[in-house]
């Protein structure tokens, strides 16, 4: 018979007649107790040993009990002070005794309650009378503490329980296993058992020499924790952006690309935003300290200016607002990626604008807004538009329903709204998948003729915009977007956030 070394050691150390405890086997074999236990159970599988289990209770002294080893139990000290003061004769005032016995703090209460319990005397109206017949030298609790301290066992369970109630002893249970050899083991021992070699690691040499076939591999504790590893992972906001891009590409949208710093012409004027619109004041916009844009398509600029001043079409009216080319040329950080839509729809970006077309972008925009847990100065906007002949608001509703359905947001509601650049316009509301709350999830509409005609677009265009961060917060339930996006981010949060797919 061949056995792994640890099992062989246990068989050799155990006896067929006297059950041997695991701890003792561990001492004799130089294995650790866990290894002995593991070996014993493996041997039991082979019917080579029996394993008996029983529960033993250990009692251990608390720090308080160790203090009493030197000073004596408080009630004993109180009794001795009482005898000294003659309280076996005449009751003595408690204050006097406490002073004499040098008891302090909580020990006073401990002394008084146990004094009476043990029949050392009585306490009445603040006077202590001592029983002359009591014998504190044979106090069983003191004796038990002494014994435990000396490493001896105390068998009186009532006494131990009493000491545990006094918080002088902590009792704990442990399983004691004893191993006894079976007849099969005895026979095998007599016939001789060989040790099988175990190895820690599989080495290249073992593989080439063929030695691997001869060895047993030492067992690992496969349940033990391994050291933590932080793998690389894509930022969760990027993951969310990629998911959005996947959905839009699947719906037939082409991606747009363009400058973050752009002329107000592309950001606002093309969108039929009057130059004195409150959103175009320095309060809302990040103007850049650089000269105006060098080149704008002049004919388009003229058509846009005309739309602002005169409107478009026979019955069109313009705004009654000032308009200057200088302001149109001023460079600012884009407040929305609709600037890209304008560049694409105008043909300036070189895109094909023969209907039908679908375009999108998921890119950063900049707003001079208040920085708080749900608003950042820069965030990602999902921008999309569809160019086709004879689009209706029903097509718009159907497109957005389909888009949001991909993110588990059903029952989109369309609230009629006003934007300077779309008509009709709708705010989109959706139900939060977990909280059931109605949240605004986007803004949409059909581009106005004043936007499209200067661009030379004759078909209809429906468009919408949405903050990616809002979708992220809906999907992940984050409360403060600053933990995720920006230099104040928390690496642990980014590392531990569950992947959403």
Q: Looking only at residues 392 through 421 of this chain, which bind another protein when binding is defined by CB under 8 A?
A: 392-395, 397-399, 401-402, 413-419
Rounded distance between C-alpha atoms, residue 270 and residue 264, angstroms: 9
Q: Which residue is it, tokens 């146990």? A: 114
Measuring CA to CA, which residue among 295, 227, 306 is closest to residue 269? Answer: 306
Q: Which residue is it, tokens 């957005």? A: 400
345 sits in which H/E element: helix 338-345
Greatest alpha-carbon pair distance for the chain in Å reads 123
Using the minimum distance from each CB to another protein, give the nearer residue, 26 or 296.
296
Q: Looking only at residues 81 through 140 of this chain, which bind another protein when binding is defined by CB under 8 A?
A: none
Measuring CA to CA, which residue among 387, 458, 398, 454 is closest to residue 428? Answer: 398
Q: Which residues pair with 263 in a beta bridge?
A: 331
Rounded distance between C-alpha atoms, residue 281 and residue 288, angstroms: 13
For residue 239, what are the CA distances in angstroms to 234, 243, 253, 387?
6, 6, 19, 28
CB atoms inside a 10 Å sphere around CB 189: 17
Binding mask 429-468 for another protein (x = CB under 8 A): -----------------x-xxx---------x--------
Q: Which residues pair with 438 in a beta bridge?
A: 431
Pick one of 160, 244, 333, 461: the residue that binds another protein (CB under 8 A): 333
Q: Looking only at residues 357 through 376 of this chain, which bind another protein when binding is defined by CB under 8 A?
A: 357-358, 364, 366, 368, 371, 376
DSSP H helical ranges for 210-265: 236-250, 264
Using the minimum distance from each CB to another protein, give the nearer residue, 120 or 426.
426
CA 294 and chain centroid, separation: 50
Rounded distance between C-alpha atoms, residue 142 and residue 73, angstroms: 7
Q: How far is the CB of 340 from another protein (least distance, A)?
A: 10
Q: Looking only at residues 265 through 304 of this chain, which bind another protein when binding is defined by CB under 8 A?
A: 276, 278, 282, 286-291, 293-295
Using the minimum distance from each CB to another protein, give the nearer residue, 190 or 229.
229
Size of interface with another protein, in residues (CB under 8 A): 102
Binding mask 141-180 for another protein (x = CB under 8 A): ----------------------------------------
- Residues 306 and 388 sit within 8 Å (Cβ to Cβ): no
Q: How far is the CB of 350 from another protein (least distance, A)?
A: 12
Contact status: 386 vs another protein (CB under 8 A): yes
Rounded distance between C-alpha atoms, residue 33 and residue 37, angstroms: 6
| Part of the chain binding another protein (CB under 8 A), chosen from 90-98, 111-119, 152-160, 484-492 | 484-492
- Residues 387 and 459 sit within 8 Å (Cβ to Cβ): yes
Using the minimum distance from each CB to another protein, give the nearer residue, 55 or 491.
491
Q: Which residues pair with 453 in a beta bridge?
A: none
| Part of the chain binding another protein (CB under 8 A), chosen from 152-160, 186-194, 213-221, 490-498 | 490-498
Q: Looking only at residues 12 through 71 of this chain, which bind another protein when binding is defined by CB under 8 A?
A: none
- Residues 255 and 360 sit within 8 Å (Cβ to Cβ): yes
| Part of the chain binding another protein (CB under 8 A), chosen from 70-78, 151-159, 160-168, 241-249 | 241-249
Pick one of 99, 313, 408, 477: the residue that binds another protein (CB under 8 A): 313
Pick one of 52, 233, 434, 500: the residue that binds another protein (CB under 8 A): 233
Pick one of 234, 297, 372, 410: the residue that binds another protein (CB under 8 A): 234
Using the minimum distance from each CB to another protein, give the nearer residue, 112 or 256.
256
- Residues 245 and 255 sit within 8 Å (Cβ to Cβ): yes
| Part of the chain binding another protein (CB under 8 A), chosen from 13-21, 203-211, 298-306, 315-323 | 315-323
Contact status: 227 vs another protein (CB under 8 A): no
Pick one of 488, 498, 499, 501: the residue that binds another protein (CB under 8 A): 488
- Residues 454 and 278 sit within 8 Å (Cβ to Cβ): no
For 368, residues 6+ apart whose C-beta sits below 8 A from its C-beta are 282, 283, 284, 285, 286, 377
Pick one of 21, 69, 188, 489: the residue that binds another protein (CB under 8 A): 489
Contact status: 321 vs another protein (CB under 8 A): yes
Q: How far is the CB of 491 from another protein (least distance, A)?
A: 4
């Amino acid at each position: 018979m061949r056995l792994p070394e640890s099992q062989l050691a246990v068989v050799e150390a155990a006896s067929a007649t006297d059950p041997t405890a695991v701890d003792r086997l561990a001492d004799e074999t130089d294995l650790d107790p866990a290894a002995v236990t593991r070996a014993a159970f493996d041997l039991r599988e082979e019917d080579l040993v029996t394993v008996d289990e029983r529960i033993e209770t250990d009692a251990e002294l608390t720090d308080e009990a160790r203090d009493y080893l030197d000073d004596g139990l408080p009630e004993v000290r109180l009794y001795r002070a009482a005898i000294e003061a003659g309280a076996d004769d005449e009751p003595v005032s408690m204050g006097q005794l406490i002073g004499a016995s040098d008891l302090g703090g909580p020990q006073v209460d401990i002394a008084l309650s146990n004094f009476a319990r043990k029949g050392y005397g009585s306490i009445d109206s603040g006077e202590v009378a001592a029983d002359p017949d009591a014998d504190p030298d044979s106090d069983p609790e003191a004796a038990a503490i002494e014994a435990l301290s000396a490493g001896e066992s105390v068998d009186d369970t009532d006494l131990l329980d009493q000491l545990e109630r006094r918080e002088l002893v902590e009792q704990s249970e442990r399983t004691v296993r004893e191993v006894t050899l079976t007849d099969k083991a005895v026979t095998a021992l007599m016939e001789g058992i060989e040790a099988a070699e175990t190895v820690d690691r599989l080495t290249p040499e073992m593989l080439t020499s063929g030695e691997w076939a001869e060895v047993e591999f030492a067992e690992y504790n496969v349940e033990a924790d391994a050291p933590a590893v932080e793998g690389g992972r894509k930022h969760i906001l990027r993951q969310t952006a990629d998911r959005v891009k996947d959905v839009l590409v699947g719906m037939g949208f082409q991606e747009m690309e363009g400058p973050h710093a752009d002329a107000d012409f592309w950001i606002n004027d093309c969108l039929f935003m009057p130059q004195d619109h409150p959103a175009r004041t320095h309060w809302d916009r990040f103007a850049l300290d650089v000269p105006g844009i060098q080149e704008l398509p002049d004919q388009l600029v003229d058509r846009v200016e005309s739309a602002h001043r005169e409107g478009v079409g026979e019955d069109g009216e313009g705004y009654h607002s000032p308009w200057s080319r200088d302001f149109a040329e001023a460079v600012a950080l884009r407040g929305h990626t609709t600037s890209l839509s304008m560049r694409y729809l105008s043909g300036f970006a070189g895109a094909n604008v023969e209907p039908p077309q679908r375009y999108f972008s998921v890119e950063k925009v900049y707003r001079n807004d208040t920085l708080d847990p749900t608003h950042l100065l820069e965030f990602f906007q999902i921008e999309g538009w569809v160019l086709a002949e004879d689009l209706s608001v029903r097509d718009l509703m159907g497109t957005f329903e389909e888009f949001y359905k991909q993110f588990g947001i059903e029952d989109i509601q369309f609230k009629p709204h006003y934007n300077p650049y779309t008509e009709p316009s709708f705010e989109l509301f959706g139900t939060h998948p977990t909280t059931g709350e109605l949240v605004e999830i986007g803004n949409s509409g059909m581009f106005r003729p004043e936007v499209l005609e200067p661009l030379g677009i004759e078909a209809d265009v429906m468009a919408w915009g949405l903050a990616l961060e809002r979708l992220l917060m809906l999907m992940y339930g984050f409360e403060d977007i600053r933990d995720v996006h920006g230099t104040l981010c928390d690496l642990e949060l980014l590392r531990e956030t569950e992947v959403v797919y």
